[in-house]
Structure 1
Amino acid sequence: MVQRQVPNPREIFELMQFKRPSLDFTGNRLGKAQSIADLRKIAKRRTPAAAFDYTEGSADREISLTRARQAFEDVEFHPGVLTDVSYLDMSTEVLGEASALPFGIAPTGFTRLMQTEGEIAGAGAAAASGIPFSLSTLGTTSIEAVREAAPNGRLWFQLYVMRDRSISYGLVERAAQAGYDTLMFTVDTPIAGNRMRDKRNGFSIPPQLTAKTVLDAIPRPWWWIDFLTTPPLEFASLTSTGGTVGELLNSAMDPSINYEDLKEIRDMWPGKIVIKGVQTLADAKKLADLGVDGILLSNHGGRQLDAAPVPFHLLPEVVREVGDDVEVMVDTGIMHGADIVASLALGAKFTLVGRAYLYGLMAGGRRGVDRMIEILSSEVERTMKLLQVHSVEELEPRHVTQLRSLVPHQSLPAPTERGSSLR
């Protein structure tokens, strides 16, 4: 029989540990977020539907994004045992310079529409954490202002080649003068993808006050207060800001870009160049032979061609074929530190996060981005320690199995002939 006694009041009071109330509402809600999914829930509550859906959505039936996320869920890890992991090094070297963590912030467009601090928050948080920040051509803060916000930070610039080549070339020159060390030449956007959520929401730049947006704003007055009491949106490249996002992209992008544009831009850029949006092994081989410094396996977060290849699935084969010649990076679908670790184990030199960053930004501005980095960093650390590896360099394909449900019915045609060097 269990012996029972009258509760001792002193012991009861010792168990009653109440936290001191805090008026730091932003800190309170961010402190409760234990995952990127938690940040997403906060972001959805605090952001108007049109702006949130711009981040959340992808193209057409959103198959590409669904498959990309499923690919990371279909991972089996193979941990070692009896290894001392009291010390762990999560740093890595990418494109000739160190990064304190094996991930950086991807380029995102129209960022201040998500939350008014926009790219300033992202660049500042990245610099404080010792990781790269990428500014989009369609960013809402100028190249120079982002540099001022992160004077000692590592900055990359993402470039769209536009119909008016002088605009693109001018951006390249400005980024070089501002000390950006890497140019990310995006090649998967000859036209805008069919982003149906934006069309249904009537999402435009700048946002328009309609009956629908006013009703949506009622429970989120802070977003509109921030939007209406801060400087007007500025774009790094667009002189006209009217119309839906798709209309803006289609008016700015040029479907005629080709390898000659790559050569011309490579000749004028003094730093490293990464080709963003590579989706086949054949293109990876050709670009490696053309002398680029890196390739980013990406389907644009599922926002361009729907049912495009899953970058994480492409990774092992591309690394095996060209990993000795070019630095291979990956994005799309990364929502957990384990996704980053799995990518590194299969040979990725580096990873980039976009939506995770924007969820943090919408949840709490700069502090929300800091929290996003903190969450992913802790997940990377925990996953590596449970795998029982000491460093990024120790991660190998033996640590991961990709469980594949999507198997091609027939093999793809042989890759095209590899090209010649630009240099």
Structure 2
Amino acid sequence: MAKTKAKASQTPSDKSVSKAESHKRNLKKKKKILFWKKKMKGAEKKTQKDPEKTAELPPKTAEEVSANWKALQELLKQKDPPALDHSSKKKEEEAIRAKGVMPTPKEKEEAQKGANGASVKPGAAKSGGKKAKKRPALGQEGGRRKGGRQAPEAHKGPEPEPRAADIWFDDVDPDDIEAALGPEVARVARKNLGIKEKETRLEKEGAFEGLTKVVALDCEMVGTGPDGEDSVAARVSVVNRFGRCVYDKFIRPNEKVTDYRTKVSGIRPKHLKAGEDFKVVQAEVASILKGRILVGHAVHNDLKILFLDHPKKKTRDTQKYKPFRQQVKSGKPSLKLLCEKLLNVRIQTTEHSSVQDAQAAMRLYVTVKREWEASLQEKKQQKPAPPRGNKD
């Protein structure tokens, strides 16, 4: 009923308008179809006359699509600049190595033109149009090398010593340089600053090699126990008055070593495997010290670790000598500090050596032997005599 009413409601004039619009639309569609048909016919006629223009037609089949793709690839190749050959790449690498920086886009363009045989623009290069010579790459030391290959990073053999020109530190203490960069660099820095190189020898050449009335003792220790906190003797060294080593032995420990303290002690497992029994070393050292003046630095620690004792009046401890402490302004100066300040000698720069430490202690004692012994005599004389008992 609703449909019939709607149809009845339409007037004759409305029907005529709708028919006119649909007629116009149909005409437009027909014109478009005719236009494209004419276009296709015209294109087909052109292709028959000029077969090279087949790529202009829209593809219809899969074969035509693939043919168009190939034609497009060839067209792109013609438009793209030719790739750099091996020689241009080599020139670019040489420029990078010689200058130490990446070449600019202008330099890249010049290298590319030179490789392709094209002429370079006037004024672009300073060579005045002449072909630039190849510059060999610079080596790590600044010298020229054949070819453009980089020098290998790793090299066999000892490292070359630093040159004076390589050290450029200003107003820096050579001791700080040594702590940061090593003794070789510090040696060059001292030379540049005009500082006299510190001595290293602590023994007298050609001197007597046997036992003397005065000997110096030093021990190296390793750690035992769960945390390696307990110390046991691992090496004992004794030197005579002239710094000549008269006794030096490693000790085979009776307990398990949990910390070899190699960075400080210089002790390694192989040393202790071939070491002597503790009791043998203890007896030999005791026989050497008997009746002699013993010199050492904090020597009570060395005697304690060997379970030995020595008369106080025949012991000379460089750590407790008052004039030494006053000169370096320290209550408990280290052996290293005393040697640097008083002897101009550097010790313990790497791993410690009991022989070197004993030599250093002896050298300190010998430099002030007269004063030291004289002060002990004065103290002895100033001591009041013990009171005698009353006689009836």
| TM-score, normalised relative to structure 1 | 0.24
Provide TM-score, normalisation by structure 2.
Answer: 0.25
Quick one: higher RCO (CA 8 Å, sep 6+), 1 or 2? 1
Answer with 1 or 2: which has the greater Rg: 2
Query: Hey, which of these two has a bigger chunk of helix by percent?
Result: 2
